[in-house]
Structure 1
Amino acid sequence: MAKRDDFSAPVIRTIAQRAGYRCSNQTCLCPTIGPDGADESASIGVAAHITAAAEGGPRYDSTLTAEERAAAENGIWLCQTCSRLIDVDVTSHSIDQLREWKTLAEMRAYLGIRGFAIVVSRSFQKLEDKMPSLVAEMRGDIASAPFTREFIIGSKNWSYNGDPENPIFQYYFVDHDNLKPMLKVMQNYDAINDTTYNNVDRFEFTEEFAEYLLLPV
């Protein structure tokens, strides 16, 4: 078994405190500590490694020393759900993105205790640069049905019986490689919201993204 360069207890405490004990995922930000049902506290926070603690792990960087892997700079504070997510969906959670989350989380905590707030604004043009064919298809759909906001994803062989009074768009795996990871990135950009139910992968454009798609090209 490869040797792990885990965080020490003081480092874990530093990572948590610098994030204000909130999940650093910018679409989550949930509190990770609070009172339990008795007289103690309960925590759902995890000090996750940005680059893996051992060879073979997610985003492992062989150029780092053991001390650098176990340092607070290589840690990000997340809730348990988001900690699991970044390691099972590595494609959508790069080192650069996690470092951006960490920076924003610490900025938010710094400003928060001083009575200020931070609002993140992302460029939809940058999003379009990452997935031009998918955004182009969405732009065409919105242009043809400007009041439709919902869409589903799936296979062209599947049959979906929706509400004929409320039409929705459809996007297919065969047309877009890595469709699910791309939609996760779109969620990170606040372009879409996940509205999945009844085992159907269903999403909704945010109004800001819909307005972007309707702008003249």
Structure 2
Amino acid sequence: MDVTSHSIGQLREWKTLAEMRAYLGIRGFAIVVSRSFQKLEDKMPILLAEMRDDITGSPFTREFIVGSKKWSYNGDSENPVFSYHFEDHDNLKPMLKVMQNYNAIIETTYNNVDRFELTEDFAEYLLLPV
């Protein structure tokens, strides 16, 4: 005897979703499943609060660097960047990796400076009223 592990209703729902995805796919639409940035709030509230404060004060800045407070950085006054420090955030590098996995930030490191950009979706999320 073959025991089914899913109800008929569940199987029909999956079939309908697969057909809708196929319909949209052949018409050039992409279906993107994204993670909730709210989950990042739960995982790293202090870092996100700092990012929210920064972008609220400078709503068109997207780039940031990470490093130690002991280091100096000579940036371009025409292109301001935010900075986040290891001394303020335990596990900063692993947190940034998680943020990359959530498509909240993109790594743009160059010149031996750990550099990232906020994605536009994440920037808009940070600018929402709390």
Q: Which of the five TM-score ranges fits, normalised by the shorter chain? A: 0.7 to 0.9
Query: 1 or 2 for the larger relative contact order (CA 8 Å, sep ≥6)?
Result: 2
- Residue 129 of structure 1: aligned partner: 42
How far apart are the structure 1 equivalents of 2:62 and 2:31? 28
Query: Once the two structures are superposed, what CA deviation does each residue of 1:153-210 show, in whole Å capped at 9, x if it has no partner?
Result: 0000101111110000000000000000000000000000000001100000000000
TM-score, normalised via structure 1 length: 0.47
How far apart are the structure 2 equivalents of 1:120 and 1:150? 25
Q: 1:120: how far off?
A: 1.7
| Deviating 4+ runs (over 2 angstroms) | 114-118
- Residue 83 of structure 2: aligned partner: 170
Aligned length: 105
TM-score, normalised via structure 2 length: 0.77
SS at match of 2:125: helix
Work out which of the residue numbers 63, 66, 69 in structure 2 matches 1:153.
Answer: 66
How far apart are the structure 2 equivalents of 1:147 and 1:190? 19
- Residue 211 of structure 1: aligned partner: 124
SS at match of 1:193: strand
Give RMSD over aligned pairs.
1.4
Work out which of the residue numbers 188, 200, 205 in structure 1 matches 2:113.
Answer: 200
How far apart are the structure 2 equivalents of 1:165 and 1:140? 21
**Residue identity in the other structure for 1:176:** H
SS at match of 1:121: coil
Unaligned runs of 5+ in 1: 1-110
